[in-house]
């Protein structure tokens, strides 16, 4: 364990410096080399040592008794058992399911962010272990930008390139006149980056842009999606209507003869077909500014004026990932690319488009200088997978068929679910449906630190050591720093590191050390560090040996391309740097997608109104609910920490309501309200503010789901938006989560018991 001098830790929200007293972490501060540290650190002590920590392995009582009957997962009692007993049961179930049903009856997609650390990454550990045991059904994609992952390869190229090669902020400060931000560019979200962020640079870049005179337009239902320093013009837009707004802008460019036809001809295919749709050749419905105004709530004059401004100077179109986490979320991205192509500035410094600035702290700021070492996951003998957000669908429809990327696929028949490092009872949509879906497997195993709602839906619960309770090193996926993560305290209760759990399981199962390869976790970390060191050397960088590194401070490395401009090479030479699309160009019409003949994603960007609005003819659920990322935590992680708790209202998650909507219902700030629709209901604490536009409410994601099974629709007591969201997904092209598209009604709690 580390001595008193070295107390670094690394989280997805930054490097922390911990104070340890008597084997307890009493505070975590940001690191001195970080110009804007995150307050999320303040959650660590309370959550790590909180009442919700799982201290011993536990088994759901009626499952252990073999009397499932009328008791249900998620509402049963647990009994604590020894590790020996718990691991025996895991071995028994793994062996039984493999023998009786084969490995494709095991689902271990285990989506989720887990913790930082190159070696102890929860999903990598579980997947490596199961790969040595015959494999498992995995999941493909993520909840963050899945529609982008699925669409971009058809029309530009892999989404990952958009992130890695995003135009850098100093380039924007220098060259850009106007940034049009669909979904804003929320500073609160740039606290976080997958695997870690060593320096929070975003506020500095915003300030540099403001000083340089860059103008910002925030097109979002939430004013605070743009920082005050940006002095942005706010155009509140009706959620889910960005595609219509972009079409209104595009139509204005056509009308005003402002399209760059040469760019469209050289660098894109399919413009004529999109143009025909925009001007209404086939449906007699020109998608002009007035048409767009009727669908978006943005005045036609404002739309026309914005189009002219966009064409008048260097313009960057920024689309937040949240905008594609909506019904038909492929369309606003595709249309944004079309709009940028019509302006003809793609590949120019500070012009064009980006999808995902603000999706993490590092995009547009920095990249890793070389690939970090990783724990090899081996090969999964099972080829089957599901799109990540089809978890309920899969569990409820074994053998059922679904459409994905133009293919008809079949769901596996899942008997065993194993989740490590994620919290589907926070992240998935329509939690009442997920609760039903989780009744179907024979066995559910969950590894976690805390008694999350997912752990409470398990049969076997394994307590895991936290990042501060194990030795590792941190290195963000797109960061340029290496962070020593010495073990700071011993694991709470009987919690264990996941590697040791799988090593024990392997020994019990009598396999031939394919998982451990005969090594301890320390030996593995050493190996992974040496791989990292060798790659550094190839990149011309010298790293210390492990002993010196783990006892030392963070190592900052250079940024490989601080002045990069997205698609500049393609612009310079569209033949030599042809895009990896079927035509080699940007596809404003995709023959591939058109050939799939999907009802919900056609061959070019297309306007579809959001589903809940269409379904609610009677207007019973008039308010659109946004459920973006919380400022005070990472998703559901550390929700019981001091900073997260400090923002709750009467112990509930705050919901933002516009003064007009609040007054109409007699709701005041501080009231406990009930939000409901046909799918579910939850309590939340009202915060009345004109930061949110009328007709919308905003409920942050991640409040620990706490269903009251005695209340109507198993009302959640705490304020988790996913009891209200639908599980329909964006489209059958990508089957992505569409969490931002839900209509609700707020009222005073109708059921008295709280």
Ligand X SMILES: Nc1nc2c(c(=O)[nH]1)N[C@H]1C(S)=C(S)[C@@H](COP(=O)(O)OP(=O)(O)OC[C@H]3O[C@@H](n4cnc5c(=O)[nH]c(N)nc54)[C@H](O)[C@@H]3O)O[C@H]1N2
Query: Which residue, 269 or 601, is less far from ligand X as judged by CB?
Result: 601
Q: Residue 316 in contact with residue 174, Cβ under 8 Å? A: no
Structure tokens at 414: 């899942």
DSSP string, 741-753: -EEEEEE--SS--
Structure tokens at 698: 């905003």
111 is catalytic: yes
| Candidate list 10, 296, 331, 452; residue touching ligand X; CB under 6 A | 452
State yes or no: residue 176 binds ligand X (CB under 6 A).
Answer: no
State yes or no: residue 636 binds Mo ion (CB under 5 A).
Answer: no
Task: Please report, as residue ranges, which positions from 699 to 718 form the binding site for ligand X (by CB under 6 A).
Answer: 701
Q: What's the distance, CA 514 to chain centroid?
A: 32
DSSP string, 342-385: HHT-TTSTT-EEEE-BTTBSSTTT---SSPPP-------S---E
113 is catalytic: yes
State yes or no: residue 581 binds Mo ion (CB under 5 A).
Answer: no
Query: Which residue, 441 or 641, is less far from ligand X as judged by CB?
Result: 641
Task: Please report, as residue ranges, which positions from 128 to 167 form the binding site for ligand X (by CB under 6 A).
Answer: 143-144
Q: Residue 37 in contact with residue 62, Cβ under 8 Å? A: no
Q: How far is the CB of 195 from Mo ion (least distance, A)?
A: 13
516 binds, among ligand X, Mo ion, none (CB under 5 to 8 A by kind): none
Q: How far apart are the first and last CA of the chain?
A: 44
Strands, sheet with 24-30, edge to edge from the N-terminal-most edge strand: 8-11, 14-21, 24-30
User: Looking at residue 60, what DSSP letter applies?
Assistant: E
Q: How far is the CB of 308 from ligand X (least distance, A)?
A: 21
Burial class (CB in 10 A: 0-12, 13-18, 19+), 429: buried
Burial class (CB in 10 A: 0-12, 13-18, 19+), 51: exposed
Structure tokens at 734: 């990508």
State yes or no: residue 391 binds ligand X (CB under 6 A).
Answer: no
Helices (H), 185-329: 202-212, 242-255, 261-267, 271-279, 289-296, 300-312, 321-324
- Helix/strand/coil (H/E/C) assignment for every residue in 479-546: CCEEEEECCCCCCCCCCECHHHHHHHHHHHHCCCCCCCCCCCHHHHHHHHHHHHHHHHHHCCCCCCCH
Of residues 468, 478, 535, the one with CA closest to residue 199: 478
State yes or no: residue 227 binds ligand X (CB under 6 A).
Answer: no
State yes or no: residue 415 binds ligand X (CB under 6 A).
Answer: no
State yes or no: residue 323 binds ligand X (CB under 6 A).
Answer: yes
What are the CB-based long-range contacts (under 8 Å, 24+) for 398-402?
398/440, 402/732, 402/735
State yes or no: residue 364 binds ligand X (CB under 6 A).
Answer: no
State yes or no: residue 144 binds Mo ion (CB under 5 A).
Answer: yes
- Only one residue has tokens 């058809």, namely 154
Pairing status of strand 401-404 against strand 178-182: unpaired
Q: How far is the CB of 538 from ligand X (least distance, A)?
A: 30
State yes or no: residue 10 binds ligand X (CB under 6 A).
Answer: no
| Candidate list 11, 331, 405, 423; residue touching ligand X; CB under 6 A | 423
Query: Which residue, 98 or 120, is less far from ligand X as judged by CB?
Result: 120
Query: Which residue, 9 or 220, is less far from ligand X as judged by CB?
Result: 220
| Candidate list 330, 448, 506, 708; residue touching ligand X; CB under 6 A | 448
| Candidate list 14, 45, 57, 240; residue touching ligand X; CB under 6 A | 240
Q: How far is the CB of 425 from ligand X (least distance, A)?
A: 9
> Which is catalytic among the residues 113, 143, 169, 291?
113
| Count of residues that interact with ligand X, criterion CB under 6 A | 63
Q: Residue 248 in contact with residue 288, Cβ under 8 Å? A: yes
Query: Which residue, 50 or 584, is less far from ligand X as judged by CB?
Result: 50
| Candidate list 41, 360, 380, 590; residue touching ligand X; CB under 6 A | 360
Of all residues in the shown chain, the one whose CB is closest to ligand X is 322
427 binds, among ligand X, Mo ion, none (CB under 5 to 8 A by kind): ligand X
> Which is catalytic among the residues 111, 402, 418, 529?
111
Q: Sketch the per residue contact string, 87 through 126, with Mo ion: x for CB under 5 A, - otherwise.
A: ----------------------------------------
Query: Which residue, 192 or 316, is less far from ligand X as judged by CB?
Result: 192
The CA radius of gyration of the chain, in Å to the nearest whole number, is 26
Q: How far is the CB of 604 from ligand X (least distance, A)?
A: 20
CA distances from 523 to 67, 468, 503 (A): 44, 19, 13
| Candidate list 2, 37, 115, 331; residue touching ligand X; CB under 6 A | 115
| Interface region with ligand X, contact rule CB under 6 A, candidates 28-36, 323-331, 511-519, 666-674 | 323-331
239 binds, among ligand X, Mo ion, none (CB under 5 to 8 A by kind): ligand X
Query: Which residue, 11 or 144, is less far from Mo ion as judged by CB?
Result: 144
In angstroms, rounded to a whole number, what is the distance separating the alpha carbons of residues 319 and 321? 6
DSSP string, 587-636: ESS-HHHHHH--SSS-SS------HHHHH-TT-SS-EEEE----TTSBTT
Neighbouring CB atoms inside 10 A of 190's CB total 27
State yes or no: residue 296 binds Mo ion (CB under 5 A).
Answer: no
Q: How far is the CB of 642 from ligand X (least distance, A)?
A: 15
Paired residues of 656 in beta bridges: 687, 698
Task: Please report, as residue ranges, which positions from 619 to 648 form the binding site for ligand X (by CB under 6 A).
Answer: 626-631, 634-637
189 binds, among Mo ion, ligand X, none (CB under 5 to 8 A by kind): ligand X
Identify how many contiguous H helices and E strands the chain contains and give both numbers: 27, 29
State yes or no: residue 232 binds ligand X (CB under 6 A).
Answer: no
In angstroms, rounded to a whole number, what is the distance separating the alpha carbons of residues 650 and 683? 10
Q: How far is the CB of 312 from Mo ion (least distance, A)?
A: 35
Query: Which residue, 168 or 426, is less far from Mo ion as judged by CB?
Result: 426
In angstroms, rounded to a whole number, what is the distance separating the alpha carbons of residues 591 and 582? 9
In angstroms, rounded to a whole number, what is the distance separating the alpha carbons of residues 236 and 459? 46
State yes or no: residue 554 binds ligand X (CB under 6 A).
Answer: no
Q: Sketch the per residue contact string, 11 through 30, with Mo ion: x for CB under 5 A, - otherwise.
A: --------------------
| Candidate list 122, 244, 303, 495; residue touching ligand X; CB under 6 A | 122
Q: How far is the CB of 262 from ligand X (least distance, A)?
A: 30
Query: Which residue, 114 or 131, is less far from ligand X as judged by CB?
Result: 114
Of residues 356, 345, 432, 460, the one with CA closest to residue 83: 460
Paired residues of 79 in beta bridges: 59
State yes or no: residue 196 binds ligand X (CB under 6 A).
Answer: no
Query: Which residue, 269 or 340, is less far from ligand X as judged by CB?
Result: 340
State yes or no: residue 331 binds ligand X (CB under 6 A).
Answer: no
| Interface region with Mo ion, contact rule CB under 5 A, candidates 141-149, 260-268, 361-369, 644-652 | 141-149
Q: For binding to ligand X (CB under 6 A), which residues are involved?
A: 112-115, 120, 122, 143-144, 182-184, 186, 188-189, 191-192, 219-222, 225, 237, 239-240, 242, 320-323, 325-326, 358-360, 420-423, 426-427, 447-450, 452, 464, 498, 626-631, 634-637, 701, 721-722, 725, 739-740
**Could you list the residues that contact Mo ion (CB under 5 A)?**
144
The catalytic site residues sit at 111, 113
């Amino acid at each position: 364990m580390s001595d008193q001098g070295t107390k670094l830790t690394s989280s997805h929200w930054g490097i922390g410096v911990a104070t340890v007293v008597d084997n307890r972490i009493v505070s975590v501060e940001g690191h001195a080399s970080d110009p804007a540290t995150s307050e999320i650190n303040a959650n660590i002590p309370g959550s790590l040592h909180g009442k919700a920590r799982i201290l011993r392995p536990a088994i759901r009582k009626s499952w252990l008794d073999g009397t499932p009957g009328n008791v249900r997962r998620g509402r049963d009692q647990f009994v604590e058992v020894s590790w020996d007993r718990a691991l025996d049961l895991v071995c028994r179930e793994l062996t039984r399911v493999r023998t009786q049903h084969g490995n494709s009856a095991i689902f271990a997609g285990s989506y989720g962010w887990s913790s930082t650390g190159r070696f102890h990454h929860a999903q990598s550990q579980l997947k490596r272990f199961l790969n040595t045991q015959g494999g498992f059904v995995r999941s493909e994609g993520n909840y963050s930008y899945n529609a982008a992952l699925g669409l971009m390869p058809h029309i530009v190229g892999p989404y990952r390139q958009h992130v890695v090669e995003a135009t850098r902020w100093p380039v924007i400060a220098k060259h850009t006149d106007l940034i049009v931000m669909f979904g804003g560019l929320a500073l609160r979200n740039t606290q976080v980056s997958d695997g870690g962020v060593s320096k929070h640079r975003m506020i500095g870049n915003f300030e540099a842009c403001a000083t340089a005179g860059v103008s910002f337009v925030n097109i979002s239902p939430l004013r605070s999606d743009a920082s005050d320093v940006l002095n942005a013009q706010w155009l509140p837009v009706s959620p889910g209507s960005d595609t219509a707004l972009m079409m209104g802008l595009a139509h204005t460019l056509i009308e005003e003869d402002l399209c760059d036809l040469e760019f469209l001809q050289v660098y894109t295919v399919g413009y004529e077909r999109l143009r025909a749709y925009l001007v209404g050749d086939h449906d007699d419905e020109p998608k002009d500014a007035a048409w767009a105004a009727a669908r978006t709530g943005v005045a036609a004059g404002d739309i026309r004026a914005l189009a002219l401004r966009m064409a008048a100077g260097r313009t960057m179109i920024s689309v937040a990932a949240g905008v594609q986490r909506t019904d038909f979320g492929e369309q606003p991205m595709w249309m944004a690319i079309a709009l940028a192509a019509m302006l003809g500035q793609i590949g120019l410094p500070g012009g064009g488009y980006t999808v995902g600035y603000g999706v993490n702290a590092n995009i547009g700021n920095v990249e890793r200088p070389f690939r970090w070492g990783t724990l090899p996951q081996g090969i999964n003998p099972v080829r089957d997978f599901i799109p990540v957000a089809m978890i309920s669908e899969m569990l409820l429809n074994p053998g059922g068929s679904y459409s994905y990327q133009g293919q008809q696929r079949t769901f596996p028949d899942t008997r065993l679910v194993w989740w490590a490092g994620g919290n589907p009872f926070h992240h998935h949509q329509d939690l009442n449906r997920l609760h039903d879906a989780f009744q179907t497997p024979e066995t559910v195993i969950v590894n976690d630190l805390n008694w999350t709602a997912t752990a409470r839906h398990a049969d076997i619960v394994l307590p895991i050591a936290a990042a501060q309770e194990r030795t590792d090193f941190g290195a963000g996926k797109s960061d340029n720093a290496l962070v020593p993560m010495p073990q700071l305290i011993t694991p709470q209760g009987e919690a264990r590191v996941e590697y040791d759990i799988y090593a024990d399981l392997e020994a019990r199962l009598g396999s031939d050390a394919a998982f451990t390869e005969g090594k301890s976790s320390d030996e593995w970390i050493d190996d992974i560090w040496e791989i990292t060191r060798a790659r550094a050397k190839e990149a011309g960088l010298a790293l210390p040996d492990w002993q010196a590194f783990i006892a030392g401070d963070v190592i900052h490395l250079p940024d490989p391309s601080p002045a990069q401009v997205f698609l500049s090479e393609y612009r310079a030479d569209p033949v030599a740097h042809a895009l990896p699309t079927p035509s080699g160009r940007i596809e404003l019409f995709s023959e591939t997608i058109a050939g799939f003949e999907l009802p919900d994603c056609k061959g070019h960007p297309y306007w579809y109104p959001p589903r809940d609005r269409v379904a609610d003819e009677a207007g019973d659920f008039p308010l659109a609910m946004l459920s973006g990322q919380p400022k005070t935590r990472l998703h559901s992680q550390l929700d019981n920490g001091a900073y997260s708790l400090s923002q709750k209202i009467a112990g509930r998650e705050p919901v933002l309501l516009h003064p007009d909507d609040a007054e109409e219902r007699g709701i005041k700030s501080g009231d406990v309200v009930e939000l409901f629709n046909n799918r579910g209901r939850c309590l939340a604490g009202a915060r009345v503010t004109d930061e949110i536009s009328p007709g919308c409410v905003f409920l942050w994601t991640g409040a620990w789901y706490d269903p009251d099974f005695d209340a109507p629709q198993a009302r959640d007591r705490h304020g988790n938006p996913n009891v209200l969201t639908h599980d329909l997904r964006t489209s059958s092209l990508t089957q992505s989560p569409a969490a931002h598209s839900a209509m609700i009604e707020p009222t005073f709690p109708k059921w008295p018991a709280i």
